[in-house]
A and B are shown apart, each in its own frame.
Chain A
Amino acid sequence: MKVVIDEEKCVAAGQCVAAAADVFDQREEDGVVVLLNENPPTELADDVRNAAAVCPALAIHIKE
Chain B
Amino acid sequence: MTIEHGMTAPGRVLVVGASASGLTTVEALRRRGYAGDITVLGDEPHAPYDRPPLSKQVLSGAWEPERATLRTPDVLSQLDAEFVLGDAAIGLDTTTRTVRTASGRELAADAIVIATGVRTRTLPGQEGLRGVHALRGLDDALALKKDLAAGVRLVVVGEGVLGSEIAATTRMLGLDVTLTGPLAAPMTLQVGPMVSALLAELHTEHGVRLRLGAGAAALTRADGRVTGVELTTGEHLPAEVVVVAIGAAPATEWLADSGLRLDNGVVCDSRCRAAEGIFAVGDVARFHHERFDCLMRLENRTNATEQAIAVAGAILGEDRPYVPVPYFWTDQFDAKLQIQGRVTPDAEVVEGDVTARRFVARYTSDGVVTGVLGWNMPKQTRLRRQEVVDALRPPVAPIH
Bound pair: A and B?
yes
Query: What residues of chain A have their CB less than 8 Å away from a CB belonging to chain B?
Result: 11-15, 17-18, 26-28, 30-31, 49, 53-54, 56-58
Decide yes or no: A27 and B379 within 8 Å by CB, A11-B329, A13-B302 being known contacts: yes
Inter-chain contacts of B31 with A (CB < 8 A): 49, 53
Contact present for B27 and A53 (CB under 8 Å) = yes
- What number of B residues sit within 8 Å (CB to CB) of A? 24
Q: Which 5 A-B pairs have the closest CB atoms?
A: A31-B378, A14-B382, A12-B378, A26-B379, A56-B301
Q: Is the CB of A14 within 8 A of B302?
A: no
Question: Can you list 13 contacts pairing A with B, beta carbon distance less than 8 Å?
Answer: A11-B331, A13-B329, A13-B338, A14-B382, A15-B302, A26-B379, A30-B336, A30-B376, A31-B377, A31-B382, A53-B27, A54-B309, A56-B301
How far apart sit A18 and B70, CA to CA, in the bound complex (Å)?
A: 22
Q: Is B50 in the interface zone, CB < 8 Å from A?
A: yes
Tell me which residues from 369 to 388 in chain B have a Cβ below 8 Å from any Cβ of chain A. 376-379, 381-382, 385
A28–B376 alpha-carbon span in the complex (Å): 10
Does B305 lie within 8 Å of A18, measured CB to CB? Answer: no
Tell me the bound Cα distance from A32 to B121 in angstroms: 34
Give the complex CA separation of A27 and B331 in angstroms. Answer: 17
Cα of A53 to Cα of B382 in the assembled complex, Å = 18
The distance in angstroms between the C-alpha atoms of A4 and B303, with both chains bound, is: 24
**Which residues does chain A contribute within 8 Å of B382, judged by CB atoms?**
13-14, 17-18, 26, 31
Q: Which residues of B contact A12 (CB under 8 A)?
A: 329, 336, 338, 378-379
User: Is the pair A54, B306 in contact by a Cβ cutoff of 8 Å?
Assistant: yes
Secondary structure dominating the interface of A: loop
- Given A18-B385, A27-B379, A28-B379, 9 more contacts at CB 8 Å? A11-B52, A12-B336, A13-B382, A14-B385, A31-B336, A31-B379, A31-B381, A53-B31, A54-B306
Chain B residues positioned under 8 Å from A26 (CB to CB) = 378-379, 382
Nearest Cβ on chain B to A19's Cβ, whole angstroms: 11
Cα A26 to Cα B336 in complex, Å, equals: 14
